[in-house]
Amino acid sequence: MYLASKHGSAHSSFAESIGTGDVAARWLISDDLGGASLGKIGLIEVGSGGAARLTSDKQCENMVFVLHGRGFARGELPAVEVREGSVIFLPGGRTIELGPRDGALRLLLIQGVRGAADGETTITHLERVENVPFHRPELGFVHVAARWLVGPNAAKSGSLVVGQSTFVPGAAHLLHRHDHADEFFYVFEGRGAHLVEGREVAMNAGDAVFAPRGEWHGFRNKSDVPVRAIFGYFGVSSLEEAGYEVHEQGKAEG
């Protein structure tokens, strides 16, 4: 398990490679940070007058989630307005430019680095994606809900699955593992606890966890307010490909 926080200095070479003007950026999770060989997660902040230009080569896919602010996205099509909660999927071979309308635009970048699929750039918003409640304690799901943002029934990808999960107070995804995919989990609202065998690790808004394939992990909301997170899998194109097994401790709690 590797835990990364939003707090820290900007990764200047990353910012310089994508930005013009007032742009700060750094990787939270990568091959060097946590051993994520099949994907990366980064934070980008674009200030007034700046712009971030993202390009996906043929073996790379990008998904961008707007964490804060209002701005524009433009690529092959005319500029589109984006705001907090907007979701942008950039398949292989596509380019997009993102910038603020006023103030700063803060972005979460999720990148799959192998097996990109052909397709078109898509832009949507969390409010337009069905939020599916799921309560199956025997499978380790306790009062959670999820939206699928990138995957078989959403933006088509070759190496990336991404969802948005909500945990009401007391909700949990109990200890489980995936034998065929690495998982990431980024909290963007609220606070809770990342679960590992025998202990819990506190997570706050802005924290990200990387759990390599085969490692037991989970999450519990121990606060009195909902937790919202972006989660997903590197190296697969569907949840089924990732594999799923509930820990005996999870079954007992469920």
Per-residue pLDDT of the chain (254 residues; tens, 9 = 90+): 899 887 655 455 677 778 778 899 999 999 999 999 999 999 999 999 899 999 887 788 999 999 999 999 998 778 899 999 999 999 888 899 999 998 899 999 999 987 666 678 899 999 999 999 999 999 999 999 999 999 877 777 888 999 999 999 999 999 999 999 999 999 999 999 999 998 999 999 999 999 999 999 999 999 999 999 999 999 998 889 999 999 887 556 65
Give residue 254's pLDDT.
58
Give residue 15's pLDDT.
72
Q: Are strands 39-46 and 80-83 parallel, antiparallel or unpaired?
A: unpaired
Distance, in Å, from the CA atom of 196 to the CA atom of 72, rounded to the nearest integer, reads 39
Distance, in Å, from the CA atom of 62 to the CA atom of 158, rounded to the nearest integer, reads 11
Residue 25 CA: distances (Å) to CA of 10, 42, 93, 204: 5, 7, 22, 20
Give all domains of the chain, ordered by start, each with its CATH number: 8-127 (2.60.120.10), 130-253 (2.60.120.10)
Sequence-ordered strand ranges (E) for the chain: 2-4, 19-20, 23-29, 39-46, 51-55, 61-74, 80-83, 86-90, 95-112, 122-125, 132-136, 141-150, 160-177, 182-189, 191-196, 199-204, 208-211, 217-220, 227-234, 245-246
Give residue 75's pLDDT.
84
Start-to-end CA span in the chain (Å): 23
Distance, in Å, from the CA atom of 126 to the CA atom of 86, rounded to the nearest integer, reads 6
Residues ≥6 apart with Cβ < 8 Å to 61: 89, 90, 91, 92, 111, 112, 116, 117, 157, 158, 159, 160
Radius of gyration of the chain (CA): 17
Give residue 14's pLDDT.
76
| Tokens encoding 228 | 């919202």
- % of the chain surpassing 90 pLDDT: 70
Question: Within a 10 A sphere around the Cβ of 21, how many other Cβ atoms?
Answer: 12
Report pTM.
0.94
Distance, in Å, from the CA atom of 221 to the CA atom of 225, rounded to the nearest integer, reads 8
Give residue 8's pLDDT.
56
